[in-house]
């Protein structure tokens, strides 16, 4: 470890460098929105879609080249830092190099063909850059890989369940002589693929009563077949899958907390060794080999270390209280236990005023009742808005009388302003900002005030001319709407006031922190599937013939030619694979599962039967795998938080570590 | 404790008495199927439904009176056994008495009005009999009650989420001047109730892409609103609810196991005390007060105790090995640790044959490969059936050529028979039956053989006359169908052969055992809601006018008068509240959630807006509460089983008990 590579290491892992790398990855991934089937149109509906703005050939390619150069630098720095031997056994790094090489080759092909190539392979492999940059994601991937065999066994059981029921279904619902009794056979059990996909969709409950109705209408008994299938498949086997995935992730958080604690211990120990070996100057007689550290040295170093100032102060305070001016190993460790203590936020003292009026105002402003009254007023404001909304719901926008709403809102905003000023006087400027609640309130109040003033400036509302013509970029109604929406959001300030809700909400906030790795994997999966979907199904569904403006008329007349519940009748036109953004939305819709068979059916009709494979595999990855992972994560988070808040401290976690 | 009440106690808790009580409860509950809106019709579709058989006035009433008498005896016995003081503080028993009294009064009213009363209150309170009879269900109920406050906080958060998004939605989608851009407002955000229910249904994902389409087709950006709503509501808040419920049930199984172990310890200790105090005849000098039990006395008692013979033998064997003929307290406890050991099933020895031919057959019959070949043959048979099914899927039943299928099935059944005989010779009669797999195979083989013979007897199949006319009660095709279904079920014998699947399947079997309490509560909830539903909505939806036989024609012509996706267009007619059985199926459909808004919408249109309350409350109880409870149970079961199979033995459980 020479000082050159140490400096490189520091520089590489500095915040700015990592941010830059993250930004580069985001830019490379975001290119998919702009590249050829460009998503820059206001709608993705083929009936109304204008021709999108296509970037000129070379623009996205230039950006991509810059990003690839940065990645090359990144991989060079990384491999220099970990050394050649480590590089050769690190699969991720080798993969990184290969991916960059492949991207560059594909990029060269694109440029040489003047952007007229059919398939850009590098779009598919781009998400790899996101994966390799996050150690958390790699860890999560490993965890998922470990779970796969057990998941496979349940999926095998599901497949067996499906096949058996399909066969029984085909035996129960054959084509009978009586045409009227053929409904079930005709619609759902006509042949093997149809029967299989009917029951597969039933497994996701997406066609639940429909698939049962023709048979159930003939005889009650047939419902038993479908209920049995759903209960075994959907309720038992699917939930068993959740249980298996959760079981793998149980202790995942605890383990990672344990690992990080052990790493910190090691780091602190190493720091201690360095500090005490470095100093024969420490003045201790070199005969007694008790290793110890001179406190002023420690304090000096502490001042240079990057850490939260609250912790730094706590540790320095503890170090100063050490008697004798020297610290031995154990005390040194104990010093850093301060890091585990929760921050107890200290609010600045209230300012002291001389004037009795100001003192009186301060008494009001810092009183707890002011918050309560503020909440009640916010509720009243929201209720006012909703009342007006309900009264006006049938009116066309231009008929609405915004005057009253404006007056009411103005009054309330004035109250909010007064509340803010009162609190500021009460707690002082710094004291006011030390509460998060106040910041939340303040930001919205200022925003509302700004909006309100701009409304006055633009429209100069008066009672005589209540509905001014549209001026400027946004209309009066839209401004008022924005004000109302801000008021509604401002109402969220009541959440911390209700205790149970505060607990749940804080769990949610914690959850989001732990969610990044999962969100990253989700992004990767969505990206890959969206690109594949665009390759396979780009432009597969043509725009309807008698299109665009006469939709409603067409709707009512052509209804009986389109089957109910089909893609065309439901007008799912904007959900297609024609550009990246709409592909994402379509994939989201399939993930949510409801009515996914409509998409599957439409693409099967417009392309081939094989497109079912794509949709089923997406359903398996997103809805079955990812949603279950998400549930496991939420369960793990909640139970961890629960245990932590009830019994376990950090030392407990450590003890459990030693026990297992 | 006199001997009379002890005998009563024994008799009351004897198996036959408890079975009788269970049967009575089942009969009382089953009365709902027969009582006035009788479910005894082959279909519940108002278009085809014949007039049901109504029981004559007095029949169900007589049965009910008998059951009520039995319940009265039951409550008398119970209160006698626990004594008056205990009775006064036992809320369940007091409730039991009150419910019986109310039922009797209501019964008297019914009889006096000659069965013409409008509402039978006692139908609603009948499920109480089921609840009070199971201590497990009472415990589970208590557990649910404890969870309610936290669930309430999440539901409050959900309600807030829903209200805020409803307001924002109404602000975003007002009625605009342009009629074409009004789709979203018109269909989903017309007024407050409409907007609220649209978003409530979206929370269950039941109208997922539909609610988004009109707005999304106008502008991509609108999709963000809906996606944000779903992600926050459905994915995060709903799963948080699962986490909270699971958190309450974590350790539920462990705790109940601990409790039962402690109870057993207490019981064994008490038995020891009784045995050693009883006997100054034991021969030990009464000076040294070491309490101990004479082994022959113990053995004698063991012979009278009711327990599984395997355990009895193990304990008696251990007791006989005690040196000295006397056992002290600790050894006595240790004796019963045998109960915790798993049964290692010993299969009877193979019979020994003298004849070399029989020996040779035995060698084949007991070989492992025979099972493998048997599985392969079963698979081949299933494949044959599915091939024929696929080939014949378009044919009408009467056109199908059952001859080939018959021949193939006969061959396979012959093979199964040979396999069975071989195995019987190989393992001997008792040895054959000691494997569960063999019993499963054997039962199906015998059934198949019987069916096949009866087919031959009835139809005397020959190649010249392949499709005989229908004779007897069921047609040729139906017999063959039954054979095929049995063959498909017989194929399930492969499950234990695949290791991973065996683990999962055994978890499932265990699950079912622990499920009884939950299933009981589910029955109670379904029962109560079905009865209320029948009171509220009986006959609310009239049969369509131009009904019955010309359904298909009507379907194609009247399609454009019925809105797509409505109750009428989807022909959900058989799902109604006209009788008990169809109410149950309708409630099940709502529990599965998909398309539940169709039912809600239909009943809102035919009755009042208030019926939404009924459906929403059922959705909350069934889909939100019960399904989450079920998931929690599965998670708890699986993790418990996992821990048990990996590390914990009973002594560990005990240790954990002392630690906490």
**Inter-chain CB proximity A243 and B637 less than 8 Å:** yes
Count of beta carbons in the 10 Å neighbourhood of residue A58: 13
**How would CATH label the architecture of A513-646?**
Orthogonal Bundle (1.10)
Q: Provide the pLDDT confidence category of residue B646 given band limits of 50, 70 and 90.
A: low
Which residues on B lie below 8 Å from A41 (Cβ)?
A: 220
Tell me the CA distances in angstroms from A102 to A27, A107, A109, A277, A656, one per residue in order: 19, 8, 11, 49, 47
**Domain topology for B266-340:** Recoverin; domain 1 (1.10.238)
Could you tell me which residue, A473 or B645, shows the higher pLDDT?
A: B645
Tokens of B15: 């198996």
Evaluated on CA atoms B220, B222, B226, B231, the torsion sign reads positive
Mean pLDDT over all residues of chain B?
82
pLDDT score recorded for residue B1? 65
Q: Provide the pLDDT confidence category of residue B285 given band limits of 50, 70 and 90.
A: very low
**Inter-chain CB proximity A213 and B575 less than 8 Å:** yes
Mark which residues 474-493 of A lie under 8 Å from B by CB: 477, 481, 484-485, 488-489, 491-492
pLDDT score recorded for residue B342? 63
Q: What is the pLDDT of residues B402-411, one digit of tens each?
A: 777 788 888 8
Tokens of A293: 């550290």
Q: Is residue A42 within 8 angstroms of chain B, CB to CB?
A: yes
Count of beta carbons in the 10 Å neighbourhood of residue A345: 9
Separation in Å, CA of B580 to nearest CA in chain A: 12
DSSP per residue, B528-556: HHHHHHHHHHTT-SPPPSS-GGGHHHHHH
Which residues on A lie below 8 Å from B189 (Cβ)?
A: 393
pLDDT score recorded for residue B278? 59
d(CA B628, CA B615): 18
pLDDT score recorded for residue B580? 92
Q: Is residue B656 within 8 angstroms of chain A, CB to CB?
A: no
Determine the average pLDDT of the residues in B38-64.
87
d(CA A142, CA A273): 34
Tokens of B391: 């080939």
Helix or strand run (H / E) with residue A405: helix A402-433
pLDDT score recorded for residue A283? 47
Question: How confident is chain A (660 residues) per 10-residue block, as mean pLDDT?
Answer: 81 88 92 87 86 85 92 90 85 91 92 81 90 84 83 86 91 83 86 90 90 90 92 89 85 75 85 71 50 78 76 79 77 75 69 84 82 89 87 78 80 90 85 83 90 79 50 67 85 77 73 79 93 91 63 46 80 90 93 91 91 94 89 85 64 49
For residue B294, what are the β-bridge partners? B326
Q: What is the pLDDT of residues B251-276, one digit of tens each?
A: 776 777 778 888 888 888 888 888 77
pLDDT score recorded for residue B63? 92
pLDDT score recorded for residue A528? 95
d(CA A625, CA A618): 10
The CATH number of B356-497 is which of 3.10.170, 3.30.70, 1.10.3470, 1.20.120? 1.20.120
**Inter-chain CB proximity B217 and A250 less than 8 Å:** no
> A237 near A154, Cβ under 8 Å?
yes
CATH node for B140-249: 1.10.287
Evaluated on CA atoms B38, B42, B46, B48, the torsion sign reads negative
Determine the average pLDDT of the residues in B463-475.
52
Question: Is the ipTM reported for this complex over the cut 0.95?
Answer: no
Q: What is the pLDDT of residues B537-594, one digit of tens each?
A: 988 888 876 544 444 444 444 444 577 888 888 889 899 998 899 999 999 999 999 9
For residue B292, what are the β-bridge partners? B328
Distance from first CA to last CA of chain B, Å, rounded?
36
Q: What is the pLDDT of residues B289-329, one digit of tens each?
A: 566 777 788 788 877 777 777 777 777 888 777 777 777 77
Tell me the CA distances in angstroms from A405 to A382, A397, B117, one per residue in order: 12, 13, 55
Separation in Å, CA of B58 to nearest CA in chain A: 27
Instruction: Report chain B's C-alpha Rg in angstroms.
Output: 32
Judge whether residue B55 has pLDDT over 90: no
Determine whether B605 is exposed, middle or buried from the number of CB atoms within 10 Å of its CB (0-12, 13-18, 19+).
middle
Tokens of A549: 């403006």
Tokens of A554: 């067409």
Helix or strand run (H / E) with residue B326: strand B326-328
pLDDT score recorded for residue A559? 44
Tokens of A537: 């199904």
Count of beta carbons in the 10 Å neighbourhood of residue A547: 15
Specify the DSSP class assigned to residue A121. H
Which residues on A lie below 8 Å from B206 (Cβ)?
A: 594
pLDDT score recorded for residue B400? 74
**B172, B185, B243: which to substitute to probe chain A, counting the most A Cβ within 10 Å?**
B243
**Inter-chain CB proximity A394 and B175 less than 8 Å:** yes
Q: Is residue A128 within 8 angstroms of chain B, CB to CB?
A: no
Judge whether residue B655 has pLDDT over 70: no
Q: Which residue of A has its CA nearest to B593?
A: A205
Helix, strand, coil in percent for chain A, rounding step 5: 75, 0, 25
**Inter-chain CB proximity A559 and B564 less than 8 Å:** yes
Judge whether residue B72 has pLDDT over 90: yes
Q: Which residue of A has its CA nearest to B206?
A: A594
Decide: helix, strand or coil at residue B493. helix
DSSP per residue, A292-339: EEEHHHHHHHHHHS-S-HHHHHHHHHHHHTSGGGEEEHHHHHHHGGGG
Which residues on A lie below 8 Å from B505 (Cβ)?
A: 157
**How would CATH label the architecture of A261-340?**
Orthogonal Bundle (1.10)
d(CA B460, CA B462): 6
d(CA A477, CA A402): 7
Q: For residue A194, give the nearest of A158, A212, A169, A229 by alpha carbon.
A: A169
d(CA B482, CA B488): 10
DSSP per residue, A471-493: -SSS-HHHHHHHHHHHHHHHGGG
Residues in chain B: 660
d(CA A415, CA B485): 75
> A527 near A535, Cβ under 8 Å?
no
For residue B396, what are the β-bridge partners? A175
Which residues on B lie below 8 Å from A218 (Cβ)?
A: 43, 45, 48
Count of beta carbons in the 10 Å neighbourhood of residue A74: 21
d(CA A165, CA B485): 10
């Amino acid at each position: 470890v020479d000082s050159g590579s140490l400096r490189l290491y520091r520089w590489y892992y500095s915040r700015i460098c990592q941010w830059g790398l993250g930004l580069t990855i985001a830019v490379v991934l975001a290119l998919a929105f702009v590249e050829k089937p460009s998503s820059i149109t206001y709608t993705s509906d083929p009936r109304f879609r204008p021709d999108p703005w296509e970037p000129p050939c070379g623009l996205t390619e230039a950006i991509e080249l810059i990003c690839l150069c940065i990645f090359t630098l990144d991989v060079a720095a990384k491999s220099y830092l970990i050394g050649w031997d480590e590089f050769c056994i690190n699969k991720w790094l080798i993969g990184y190099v290969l991916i960059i090489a492949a991207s560059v080759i594909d990029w060269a092909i694109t440029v040489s063909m003047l952007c007229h190539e059919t398939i850009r392979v590098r779009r598919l492999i781009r998400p790899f850059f996101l994966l390799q940059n996050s150690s958390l994601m790699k860890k999560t991937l490993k965890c998922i890989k470990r779970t796969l065999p057990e998941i496979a066994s349940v999926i095998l059981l599901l497949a067996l369940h499906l096949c058996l029921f399909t066969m029984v279904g085909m035996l129960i619902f054959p084509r009978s002589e009586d045409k009227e009794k053929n409904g079930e056979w005709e619609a759902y059990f006509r042949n093997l693929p149809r029967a299989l996909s009917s029951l597969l969709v039933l497994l996701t409950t997406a066609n639940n009563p429909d698939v049962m109705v023709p048979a159930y209408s003939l005889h009650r008994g047939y419902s038993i077949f479908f209920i049995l299938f759903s209960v075994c498949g959907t309720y038992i086997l699917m939930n068993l899958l959740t249980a298996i995935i959760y079981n793998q992730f149980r202790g995942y958080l605890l383990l990672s907390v344990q690992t990080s604690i052990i790493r910190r211990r090691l780091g602190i120990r190493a720091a201690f060794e360095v500090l005490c070996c470095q100093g024969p100057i420490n003045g201790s007689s070199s005969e007694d080999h008790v290793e110890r550290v001179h406190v002023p040295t420690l304090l000096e170093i502490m001042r240079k270390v990057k850490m939260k100032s609250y912790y730094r102060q706590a540790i320095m305070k503890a170090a100063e209280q050490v008697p004798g001016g020297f610290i031995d190993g154990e005390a040194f460790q104990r010093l850093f236990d301060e890091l585990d203590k929760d921050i107890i936020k200290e609010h600045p003292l209230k300012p002291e005023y001389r004037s009795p009026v100001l003192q009186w105002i301060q008494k009001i402003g810092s009183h707890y009742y002011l918050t309560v009254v503020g909440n009640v007023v916010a509720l009243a404001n929201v209720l006012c808005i909703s009342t007006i909304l309900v009264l006006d719901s049938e009116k066309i926008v231009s008929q609405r009388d915004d005057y009253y709403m404006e007056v009411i809102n103005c009054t309330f905003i004035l109250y909010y302003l007064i509340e803010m000023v009162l609190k500021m006087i009460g707690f002082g400027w710094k004291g006011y900002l030390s509460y998060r609640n106040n910041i939340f309130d303040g930001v919205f109040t200022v925003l509302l005030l700004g909006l309100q003033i701009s409304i006055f400036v633009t429209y100069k509302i008066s009672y005589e001319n209540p509905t001014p013509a549209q001026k400027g970029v946004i209309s009066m109604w839209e401004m008022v709407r924005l004000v109302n929406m801000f008021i509604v959001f401002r109402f969220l300030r009541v959440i911390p006031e209700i205790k149970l809700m505060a607990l749940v909400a804080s769990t949610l906030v914690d959850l989001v922190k732990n969610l990044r790795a999962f969100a990253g994997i989700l992004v990767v999966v969505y990206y890959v599937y969206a690109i594949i979907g665009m390759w396979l199904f780009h432009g597969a569904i043509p725009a309807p013939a008698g299109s665009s403006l006469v939709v409603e008329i067409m709707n009512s007349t052509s209804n009986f030619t389109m089957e109910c519940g089909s893609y065309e009748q439901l007008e799912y036109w904007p959900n297609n694979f024609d550009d990246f953004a709409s592909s994402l939305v379509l994939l989201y819709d399939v993930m949510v599962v409801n009515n996914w068979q409509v998409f599957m059916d439409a693409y099967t009709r417009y392309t081939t039967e094989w497109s079912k494979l794509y949709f089923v595999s997406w359903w398996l990855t997103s809805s079955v795998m990812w949603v279950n992972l998400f549930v496991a994560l939420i369960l793990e988070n909640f139970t961890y938080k629960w245990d932590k808040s009830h019994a376990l401290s950090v030392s407990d976690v450590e003890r459990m570590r030693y026990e297992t």
